[in-house]
A and B are shown apart, each in its own frame.
Chain A
């Protein structure tokens, strides 16, 4: 054990600032010393990457005596990085996350406050960190041992686990497919933590507060799952004696974890502006309905609520004792600033009462991965929370949908359609979707059904034609054997279920097993489910040749997708041009009314009125359900219920094209793009020689420099505008170019260009892109 040089210790030097009441007394903290982590600030690129990025060695664990100003080292980490620390209820045992060597992983350790009994708890080839004690002496922590990666980045997505006090019996509590953050325990025994998610929403603004029971049951939103700013609520702890108020960091998404400090009162409402009090007002946090939450640049991290009036916090590595009303701001110890070693995770050394121990209602052993992976949902009234305009009795079924996680790490340099790699849609859903099946909704709106356990699932209420009446745009997960009741769709959690006169009909019968979709329980693949319906019913008018309304619905493959998908989804939107990054340009896709998830589209998270998105709002939805009548009112198509439902479902799943994240072309743009070798070079050369006289400037950043074509057809390549437009009309040219460039297909340049596609097709026949493999056979 060594004493720290007193040179960096300033403790108790009064911070005097205009507007703050001066107070030069020793703060009556009620304790003598605090534990501290010393480390470098972790200036990660995002709030969710601190376990991997900008990790530097140095520092350790300390106890700082407030009275005699002595800083006593209890663990030296010159070669490694201590990330965080939490003191046990006994006031003696520190639980901490330590990357002992910088080429290793974070693992959990304990040590007593005198620096003795160092014990390693976890030894798994994964990061294990952000641990907290549970009142029954188990430990909740984050781990990235389940291989999953951020859809829009390359880092792992650690999620919530728990284990015994000695690190044994790890149990996964969370089924998030993105990151969970910083668990702590509330007085009523629930684990409070944050989670990142983007079900059919842009990726930046939603890092919100959630609670879950220590056995992994009863997941529930606490605050901020539909606010634009701040983007992130993390490092959250309940304020003792405050009637459920929460102290937390409020910060951005594309930045490290330091930010403003907020007090959240969730009882005011799940997304209410009035629920947020920014107690560090010098750090600007915009209102909940403005911006994307990404412009918060504050210095504060690791707030620790001491009582109803005071808290400890690290301000870029300086530890302060503060009151929530800012009447007291006293530095206790300072570090070397944001660029050097500083202090983090301050906590008082004292005993503290244990929180309530919530009983587990799961049958013994069912928390193990080997147990039957089903749980039960009791939905009381699906209409609860939906507007009066939705007629009672109009919802017939629920589709149970899973967001499929991304099991591979890909370089973000390969991104396309925003930040998709592998590409799943053209900037709509990030995740492939798996429909587990359907549950019956009774006349009174109740439903009682089984759902797959430990999966991120959400529910689509369907009308009698199979269209979604409302979108959930978030997910839940249940433990095996769990029974969870829900009040309804979009119901305010400040309401108790209103089934007071009669037991809901569905609860008078056993939980229903889901009826599986006809294509099986696997990812929803557009080319294999939707395209065949177009092939059967639409191609006589919307085929290759002079398609009606200039809408070709063939399944010819394009560089990323297929022609029908390009026309129904991408065409006429900023997604024509846009392949990488974000855009603020408005999207309004008439055909399919998909929800854009590009950065810059954050405001759409607030558009939650039913019927705004997907099949109920889309022209394609109207056409398939009306039978597409001609001028005389005669139906031109007659689709079966299943066919109509599949097309509607596709729109309501937010137009996924690919049914999975796997790819045979992980090194291609978006892990999908197929452009013939040499094509771009050849085309640039031809264009330079033969097109530049007309096409003087580029307005297209997607594929090509000059011609106005947003997708490249790889089946029937001769139909590509870049080849048809310059071709003589007598030889099948479209006449779109003002002058003929290729007199016939025999043109040398034409031949060079078209032959590149033959080689591509040969390669694809050996190693197909996954939309060319029938997933359902």
Chain B
């Protein structure tokens, strides 16, 4: 995972004390993520997601006993029926899952699935594995007898988590982000229920308005409820303040599986302190508790499920409807235990313990004595190299300690440095004119920034973000690290590419791109000329206003489109929202030509 650094970053790294070039510059950071525990709870497999390794931990002895070197950076791991092997997702654009022998650590078989397979889940009868292909927006189903893909099921947008119901009836898959136009009245990620036998989608359940960055799904022990952890954005409000969850709250949506509908969303925050960026979850205590990694605040929350459902059962429908706004609802039912490492993202409960992996740590944490004050033991998984500015920047970008009252971090609205799909009413261009969140990819190389170009360059926006969105004093060293991190972002190859190359349709579209005049403004290496234009998209107070020409790199990933996110698809940008050919000459194009043009743009 060695990356070449722009010279300015290298100079910066040299300048800041303690962060000189690493003595072991080739040593990657470990970034432990997914955890898999074998059925007998003897071994744990931990993905070292930036080190192309899986650590094998002896759970009884409390130490790492081995590691598996891989030709890819692993994500989810599951133990397959024969117990002689594991199945691992590789997160690659030309994605596969790999069957790996636990004896000789060799890849026994690789099964081609979709773009960026991350989450895996196996049916309780161990007959099928479901693979979430994040950027194909599909789920691949693998037969464990043959290790063949049976089918690929389309879901919503960026499925990154899945769960199997204990009885095996349902596979639940969560979209990471909303897939609506941002101007819709309900903009939220969805959770899909798939019949594990028929493989038919049974329901798509839209979460509470503003739900995004859905990071994990867990069924209750009896299979009656499904829990989804996510950020709950209050993006219908201007970002004038952060107190009382005014910008982002953090919660768990509860789905009534039998009714296939959303019951409510509970808030993990307290009225004066956020629980930023809930991530991995796991049942503990024989299913009586739910452990939730609070990745932004470096803690694990333990939620009393028995008490929760007892409390819910005593609520009237009116009271249930108010729960998504009630910071007090979980009072007495939830406790937080701080982790030692930074950014806990995965938890795995077994027996009376919980394993916790923290992304910016080279150790696995084992929480014991959960009933009392949790004790923490640590298991070394290797050794991280010295922190670099980029790595520190990635940490700060995800760290709610930088935020007043820990409500959110930068990733709460910019997951993975990209955009959350929501409209936000920031105050840098007046109020009452919400705009669609922007990806940070290449923002440092494509000034000015913000949709209105109101910030001269991304460095200014980073510091304004800390001051006006995190409401904390800017620490220049931290801001420089965030700059370094954002500059280091690389585009993910488009899922529209075929074997890394433009499809036939996209090649046709490339010519139309020129003919339609797109390249006049969307030109150069970043597909922008760094200027502002009025292309007839402004409405209301923005009528006749000029907007910054955004980069088109990775535009396949940043829907919805236009400054207010009114266009759900690229094709809508080219047609419905370009009636007068002001935003490229597209009105004369045939349906096929429009499809070709969209295919090209979405391949960038």
* Chain A contact residues, CB within 8 Å of chain B: 136, 188-189, 218, 220, 243-244, 266-269, 356-359, 361, 378, 380, 483-485, 487, 492-504, 507-511
CA distance A380 to B241 in the complex (A): 13
Please name all residues of chain A whose beta carbon is closer than 8 Å to the beta carbon of B220 when the two chains form the complex: none
Q: Are B240 and A485 in contact (CB under 8 A)?
A: yes
**Given the contacts A136-B473, A358-B471, A487-B244, A188 and B404 also touching, CB distance less than 8 Å:** yes
Residues of B within 8 A of A136 (CB): 473
Tell me if B320 is interfacial: C-beta within 8 Å of chain A: no
Which residues of B from 453 to 476 have beta carbons under 8 Å from A? 466-468, 470-474
Assembled-state Cα–Cα distance A305/B467 (Å): 31
- Could you list 14 further interchain pairs (A-B, Cβ under 8 angstroms) beyond the known A483-B241, A485-B241, A510-B431? A218-B241, A268-B328, A359-B467, A359-B468, A359-B471, A359-B473, A483-B427, A493-B244, A495-B325, A498-B322, A498-B324, A501-B186, A503-B236, A503-B237
A572 → chain B, closest Cβ, in Å?
42
Q: Is the CB of A501 within 8 A of B185?
A: yes
CB of B241 within 8 A of CB of A494, answer no
Q: Is the CB of A497 within 8 A of B246?
A: yes
Knowing A361-B467, A484-B241, the reply to whether A498 touches B325 (Cβ < 8 A) is yes
Contact A496 B270 (CB under 8 A): no
Instruction: Give the residues in chain A near B34, CB-CB below 8 Å.
Output: none
Report A-chain residues with C-beta under 8 Å of the C-beta of B272: 188, 244, 266-267
CB-CB nearest in chain B for A380 = B237
Give complex CA distance A500, B186 in Å. 9
Is B408's beta carbon under 8 Å from chain A? no
**Cβ of A378 and Cβ of B240 under 8 Å apart?**
yes
- In the complex, A358→B471 CA distance in Å? 6
CB pairs A–B below 8 angstroms (30 shown) = A188-B273, A189-B404, A244-B270, A268-B331, A356-B404, A356-B472, A358-B404, A358-B473, A359-B470, A359-B472, A483-B241, A483-B427, A485-B240, A485-B241, A487-B244, A494-B326, A495-B244, A495-B322, A495-B326, A496-B245, A496-B246, A496-B249, A496-B325, A497-B237, A499-B237, A500-B209, A502-B236, A507-B431, A507-B432, A510-B431
User: How far does the Cβ of A375 sit from chain B's closest Cβ, in whole Å?
Assistant: 11
Residue-wise, chain B 469-497 has the 8 Å CB interface mask toward A (1 for contact) of: 01111100000000000000000000000
Out of B236, B331, B467, B473, name the residue touching A500 (CB < 8 Å). B236
Q: Are A357 and B472 in contact (CB under 8 A)?
A: yes
Q: Is B267 close to A, CB under 8 A?
A: yes
Q: Give chain B nearest CB distance to A519 CB in angstroms.
A: 32
A220 CB contacts on chain B under 8 angstroms: 243
Quick check: is B341 within 8 A (CB to CB) of the other chain? no
Chain A residue contacts of B246, Cβ below 8 A: 485, 496-497
User: C-beta contact mask, B316-329 vs A, less than 8 Å → 1, else 0?
Assistant: 00000010111110
Contacts of A243 in B (CB 8 A): 270, 273, 336
Q: Is the CB of B237 within 8 A of A483?
A: no
The 10 closest A-B pairs by CB, nearest first: A357-B473, A494-B328, A496-B245, A508-B432, A359-B467, A483-B240, A500-B209, A503-B236, A498-B325, A494-B327
Interface centre among A380, A495, A511 (most CB of B within 10 A): A495
A361, A500, A508, A510: the one contacting B208 at CB < 8 Å is A500
Which A residues are CB-close (under 8 A) to B267? Answer: 496
Nearest Cβ in chain A — how far from B427, in angstroms? Answer: 8
State which of B209, B237, B331, B470 has its C-beta within 8 Å of the C-beta of A507: B237
The reply on B271 being an interface residue by CB < 8 A is yes
Is there contact, CB below 8 Å, between A507 and B425? yes
B386 within 8 A of A: no
A505 to chain B, nearest CB (A): 10
* Cα–Cα, bound, A499→B244 (Å): 13
In the complex, what residues of A have CB within 8 A of residue B328's CB? 267-269, 492, 494
Chain B nearest CB: distance from A89 CB in Å? 15
B residues in contact with A189, CB < 8 Å: 404, 472
Within 8 A of A (CB), among B413-467: 425, 427, 430-432, 434, 466-467
**Chain A residue contacts of B238, Cβ below 8 A:** 378, 485, 507
Contact between B271 and A484, CB atoms less than 8 A apart: no
The answer, yes or no, to whether B340 is at the interface (CB within 8 Å) is: no
B119 CB, nearest partner CB in chain A, Å: 28
**Chain B residue at smallest Cβ distance from A498:** B325
CA distance A502 to B434 in the complex (A): 12
Q: Please, which residues of chain B bring their CB within 8 A of the CB of A269?
A: 328
Interface positions of B from 296 to 326, Cβ below 8 Å from A: 322, 324-326
Q: CB-CB < 8 A to A380: which residues of B?
A: 237
* B185 CB contact (under 8 Å) in A266, A495, A502: A502
Q: Does B210 contact A (CB under 8 A)?
A: yes
Of all chain A residues, the one with the shortest Cβ separation from B246 is A485
- Check: B234 CB closer than 8 A to any chain A CB: yes
In the complex, A69 Cα to B273 Cα: how many Å?
41
Chain B residues lying within 8 Å of A494, measured Cβ to Cβ, are 271, 326-328
Q: Which residues from A are CB-within-8-Å of B209? A: 500-501
User: Complex Cα distance A484/B244, Å?
Assistant: 12
A500-B271 CB under 8 A given contacts A218-B243, A359-B467, A378-B240: no
Instruction: Establish whether residues A497 and B466, one from each chain, have CB atoms under 8 Å apart when the complex forms.
Output: no
Q: Does B405 sit at the interface, judged by CB under 8 A?
A: yes
Decide: A267 near B241, CB < 8 A? Known: A495-B322, A499-B236: no
Q: Select from chain B the residue with minimum beta-carbon distance to A268.
A: B331
- Knowing A218-B241, A507-B238, say if A188 contacts B466 (CB, 8 Å): no
Chain A residue nearest in CB terms to B540 = A508
Nearest CB in chain B: distance from A380 CB, A? 7
> Are the C-beta atoms of A497 and B234 separated by less than 8 Å?
yes
Docked pose: A501 CA to B325 CA in angstroms = 13
Determine the chain A residues whose CB is within 8 A of the CB of B430 once the complex forms.
510
Known contacts A378-B238, A493-B244, A503 near B404 by CB under 8 Å? no
List B contacts of A510 (CB < 8 A).
430-432
- A382 CB to closest chain B CB, in angstroms? 15
